[in-house]
Amino acid sequence: MTDRFTVRSPVTGAPVGEHPVHGPEDVRAAVGRARAAAHDWSACGWAGRRARLLAWKRSLARRMDELASLIRAETGKPRHDARAEVLLTLVHLDWAARNARRVLGRRRVPAGPLSVHQRALVGYRPLGVIGVIGPWNYPLYTPMGSIGYALAAGNAVVFKPSELTSGVGELLARSFADAVPDHPALLQTVTGHGPTGEALARSGVDKVAFTGSPGTARKVAAVCAERLTPMLAECGGKDAVLVDASADLDEAAEAIVWGALANAGQTCAGVERVYAVASVHAALCARIVHRVRALRPGPEPDSPYGPLILPTQLATVERHMKEALAAGAHAAYGGPASLRPPYVHPVVLVDVPEDSPAMREETFGPLVVVNAVADLDEAVARANAGAYALGAAVFTADRRRGLAVAERLASGAVSVNSVLGFAAVPSLPFGGSADSGHGRIHGAEGLRGFAAPHSLTVRRFRPPVDLTSFTAPRRRAERAVELGRRLHARW
């Protein structure tokens, strides 16, 4: 008999749902069904896939409340946040469905002077079956950044959601089967803990799209290395906001508070560090503290934010706060008494030494550090130091200066005068480097990441000089090579 596990509410501990623990055989069987489904999906063509994905999107939009209430039950997040998560998901699915043909469809490319006799074409073919392993913080939006784009690129998907949010994963697959009844095996969900994810990575899928912590990403990468299975890794962040002396401090404070506290700080590209130019540091801190004072996390549908979803995460937040305070930081707001499981009330720390865990490790809680810097150059250097490079933001009255600073930031995405501006723009690729992972979801790169380029040449006429023949006149070929050499020596 298959073992089962229970997903519990992080607020009350009450059971929300029970799910099977899928073992390697179950996972392999799902991948086998997906492979057959991928074949039919490919035969559907661009228009057929687009029509079915948009039908699924419309049905998800109609089922927004059902999805949002399950997201809320499994994560404890407020109703508005859960609904906004569904909306973001719809925006991306819509873009992927509508743009797949434009981005991936076969097109002509210049053949170049050496190959004027050739017609050159490039297209993208689906990889086959994609194994998606997801986290719990945005249980719909985050995995759909892979699932929606992988399906639009012509693949089938087997999805292993987090063990904390498996109900959302199951509902997603059910909703697909309801909306696309002729291809129900194209999106299947397998449930379980780490070993189920490992079984998926080992199952012979054609790519693994992993979202989670860098530690788990390393384990998944080691498994993928055994078969040379390609892997996309969307991992954590330690995002910095840079505040220039010219910035509108009210707007900056508003955005920082939301970016740091929304979803209880459990956002991979959430705001964890702020570097403000010294002349405005105190005024910015005052504005931030003024705003966080009004925010109380709780279980109500309209609370500003909910609990920490993973109970052990509280210990990380506590350690980061206590080590920073012990190293000489000051609490501008909150402190150890802010930890009231399962909630953490807002914490604002200032003057935190750069080598503290609160500056170097992902906190993933509603704690934000606001440090002073001499100028934006120092802010850039500090923002770029460290193991993560996911998102960042710059606040300044001078948008050109903001763009110039953004160019110097090493993260994968930067917002000028907002936070997380890039997350809701489906045409922008999203992802990071170093401990934040590699590869991109969203946008054209997000589609291409689930496809293999397929290059074609079609000979149009016999070339006057043929370099791919043993019988063509050798002297003519030698003259052509010499002519080419001379041209390249000058260009």
DSSP sequence for 262-282: GGGG--TT-EEEEEEEHHHHH
Q: Whose CA is closest to 324, among 269, 361, 374?
A: 361
- CB of residue 148 to ligand NAD, shortest distance in Å: 14
Give me the residue label for tokens 């508005």: 80
Binding site for ligand NAD (CB under 6 A): 133-138, 142, 160, 162-163, 193-194, 197-198, 201, 211-213, 216, 219-220, 234-237, 268, 310, 362, 364, 390
| Tokens matching residue 207 | 């790519």
Q: Is 318 a catalytic residue?
A: no
- CB of residue 146 to ligand NAD, shortest distance in Å: 9
Paired strand residues for 430 = 441
State how far the Cα of 212 lies from the Cα of 199, in Å rounded to an integer: 16
Nearer to ligand NAD, 67 or 390 (CB): 390
**Under 8 Å between Cβ of 369 and 359:** yes
**Under 8 Å between Cβ of 76 and 307:** yes
CA 358, chain centre distance (Å): 22
- CB of residue 482 to ligand NAD, shortest distance in Å: 52
- CB of residue 193 to ligand NAD, shortest distance in Å: 5
| Non-local CB neighbours of 210 within 8 Å, separated by 6+ positions | 132, 133, 201, 216, 217, 220, 231, 232, 233, 234, 437
Q: Whose CA is closest to 223, among 238, 237, 233?
A: 233
- In Å, what is the CA distance from 326 to each residue of 319, 330, 360, 440? 10, 9, 16, 38
| Tokens matching residue 22 | 């899928």
Question: What is the helix (H) or strand (E) element at residue 33, kind and residue range?
Answer: helix 24-43
135 CB-contact burial (10 Å; exposed 0-12 / middle 13-18 / buried 19+): buried
| Non-local CB neighbours of 286 within 8 Å, separated by 6+ positions | none
Which residue has the closest beta carbon to ligand NAD?
A: 197
Which is the catalytic residue, given 234, 272, 361, 362?
Answer: 234
**Under 8 Å between Cβ of 229 and 205:** yes
Residue 422 is given by DSSP the state G
- CB of residue 305 to ligand NAD, shortest distance in Å: 16
Q: 97: helix, coil or strand?
A: helix
Nearer to ligand NAD, 237 or 402 (CB): 237
Residue 7 is given by DSSP the state E
State how far the Cα of 115 lies from the Cα of 110, in Å rounded to an integer: 9
Nearer to ligand NAD, 271 or 376 (CB): 271
- CB of residue 225 to ligand NAD, shortest distance in Å: 13
- CB of residue 441 to ligand NAD, shortest distance in Å: 7
Nearer to ligand NAD, 402 or 443 (CB): 443
Q: Whose CA is closest to 244, among 421, 353, 403, 422?
A: 403
- CB of residue 197 to ligand NAD, shortest distance in Å: 2
- Per DSSP, helices labelled H in 309-465 are 313-326, 357-360, 376-384, 399-407, 443-448
Nearer to ligand NAD, 198 or 244 (CB): 198
Q: 283: helix, coil or strand?
A: helix
Nearer to ligand NAD, 95 or 138 (CB): 138
What residues act catalytically? Answer: 234
